[in-house]
Amino acid sequence: MPAKRKNGIDLSSSLSDIWKVLSDDEREVLRKNARIVNFKKNELIYCENEIPKDLMCLFKGKVKIFRTGVGGRNQIIRMIRPVQYFGYRAYFAHEPYVTAAAAFEPSTVCMIPMEIIEKMLLGNSHLAMLFIQMLSTDLGIADQRVVNLTQKHIRGRLAESLLFLKESYGLEEDGATINIYLAREDLASLSNMTTSNAIRTLSNFVDEHVIAIDGRKIKIIDEDKLRKISRMG
Amino acid sequence: MPAKRKNGIDLSSSLSDIWKVLSDDEREVLRKNARIVNFKKNELIYCENEIPKDLMCLFKGKVKIFRTGVGGRNQIIRMIRPVQYFGYRAYFAHEPYVTAAAAFEPSTVCMIPMEIIEKMLLGNSHLAMLFIQMLSTDLGIADQRVVNLTQKHIRGRLAESLLFLKESYGLEEDGATINIYLAREDLASLSNMTTSNAIRTLSNFVDEHVIAIDGRKIKIIDEDKLRKISRMG
DNA sequence: TTAGAACAATGTTATATAACACAAAAATAC
DNA sequence: GTATTTTTGTGTTATATAACATTGTTCTAA
């Protein structure tokens, strides 16, 4: 039996991870309570200090989780790709959001009230394990990120970001172009540097034949070298 | 009925958070499977790349979770106080440890095999919620830490660390001395700076009458000023 | 009690990176 | 299609912080 559709989107295939561990009754509850929301490019999905209300699942598009630091300088904390969940951490910690989320490009997000999820969690321990696993993975990434961002030099940080983008969003048909187009400013706030330095370092990489750039398209020419730069700094 | 004792330690009062959400049967399982291990000052509790096996609960002492970064430079990621749990994240993420843990001072740790905990989790969703909450809180802290460590200047980072130590370990009877004595080197690797700079900045704070130092004892003289420095950088 | 190591303090130099300024190119609006 | 804003690119300067060197101090051990 195919799942009911909302705005032409098949919930059962899109919410895959969660869907798998649910009973028919639980699935019906989700169907009834899920909202599908579309966001324009650069539109805010939630913002700092807001009270978290929904579990969000990115169906389509690309989303950045970021935080405004000293002197209004933004720092990208995490990036979300389809089909990943986000927005639930603060609810579980009983805090307002400490980050904000915005769509990089036109995006479709499925929202399910956290109260529903929380109730479901108490009756379905496999669902709980899923959240424990996601949180544990993210915390491990955050722990490593702290060290990478603070100890590596500019070149190493930018190289790492490029590799991270490749892992996250993959390559285009040519097998080289990273499948996400970021402004230099976003690349900078992902790599903890100023925009000027992102631009400069990117140019250096081009001179060294590690990458090629065409506007916002970045082609990885020599991945080994990029990895070496990322490791060494 | 009082809980059985192991090496003179009362499990039921020490494992408080977890204990509360367990049934009598589950408590009995923990009693049977818990080991109490003592660690000397500076002794390693677990190390990087090791396979995680136990949930650990610090009963007595102080523990640092750290990571070896570029060029062997250590970075303290988290600090543990009694009665906090640690060592479980990597197991849930199905990874080897990305961090190491060491005792700052003579410490007593209760260890419970993660297999036991995982099984218990599937049958007790309140226990699962507890882990979800702990992980969510830690992830929020990590997210904020990334921004603080990368964007604040040395003075701000050190001030923040001192405040953090005060919040975590409290003050002594005099109402001013921070209740943990760290080497300058540890203070540095907690604040992402070199040992020299930790020493220098500490001396500056003394000159400015923000703190007073006597060896490794740090007395907070002007907390407001310290907060201001932490905010501004 | 002395020898040796670990730790703390301080000054000097080197350097990575931010900050600033400006020009060119591209995107967007009118 | 021109005007205006945003983004990208590049050179210059300033500065925060690491790196290094040296000395004094405290702790540890034989």
For residue B93, the domain's CATH number is 2.60.120.10
Name the DSSP letter for residue B72: G
Q: What is the mean pLDDT of the segment spanning B27-56? A: 94
Q: CATH number of the domain at B179, please.
A: 1.10.10.10
What is the distance between the alpha carbons of residues A108 and A214, in angstroms, rounded to a whole number?
A: 28
Task: Work out the pLDDT band at B165, boundaries 50, 70, 90.
Answer: very high
**From the Cβ of B149, is strand C under 7 Å away?**
no
| pLDDT at B1 (0 to 100) | 40
Same structural domain, A87 and A140: yes
Instruction: Encode pLDDT of A78-133 as tens digits.
Output: 999 999 999 999 999 999 999 999 998 999 999 999 999 999 999 999 999 999 99
Do residue A10 and residue A67 come from a single domain?
yes
Cis-peptide into B98, omega within 30 deg = no
Same domain, B144 and B45: yes
Residues of A in contact with B124 (CB under 8 A): 125
Question: Of B101, B127, B149, which residue constitutes the final position of a domain?
Answer: B149
Query: Does the pLDDT at position B4 exceed 50?
Result: no
Domain that holds residue A106: 5-149
Judged by average pLDDT, the poorest of A71-75, A111-115, A224-228, B7-11 is B7-11
- Check A137 against B93: CB less than 8 A apart: yes
Could you tell me if B30 and B107 lie in one domain? yes
d(CA B35, CA B7): 10
- Based on the domain organization, do B46 and B120 belong to the same domain? yes
Same domain, A164 and A50: no
Q: Check residue B3 and give its pLDDT.
A: 43
Same domain, A125 and A96: yes
B193 lies in the same domain as B116: no
Say if residue A217 is in the same domain as residue A120. Answer: no
Share the mean pLDDT of chain B.
92
> How distant, in Å, are the alpha carbons of A136, B75, B98, B99, B232 from that of A143?
11, 10, 8, 8, 25
Does B137 lie in the same domain as B123?
yes
* Nearest nucleotide over every DNA/RNA strand to the B206 CA, judged by C1': C9
pLDDT bucket at B18, cuts 50 / 70 / 90: confident
Q: Identify the domain boundary among B149, B172, B207.
A: B149
* Whether residues B122 and B184 fall in one domain: no
Helix H segments across A124-153? 125-151
Question: Best mutation site among B114, B119, B149, B150 for testing chain A: the one with the most A CBs within 10 Å?
Answer: B150
Total domains present in chain B: 2
A132 vs B contacts (CB less than 8 Å): 92, 121, 128, 131-132, 135
Distance measured from the CA of protein residue A144 to the C1' of nucleotide C20, in angstroms: 33
- Residue A2, pLDDT above cutoff 50: no
Structure tokens at A12: 């059962």
Phi/psi of residue B206, nearest 5 degrees: -65, -45
Q: Which amino acid is at B228?
A: K
pLDDT at A16 over 80: no
pLDDT-based confidence at residue A4 (cuts at 50, 70, 90): very low
Q: What angle do CA A31, A37, A43 make, to 5 degrees?
A: 155
pTM: 0.92
Last residue of a domain, one of B149, B181, B198: B149
Q: What is the mean pLDDT of residues A210-225?
A: 96
Residue B16 pLDDT greater than 90, yes or no = no
Q: How many degrees, rounded to 5, is the angle at CA B35 between CA B115 and CA A139?
A: 50
Residue B110 sits in the same domain as residue B210: no
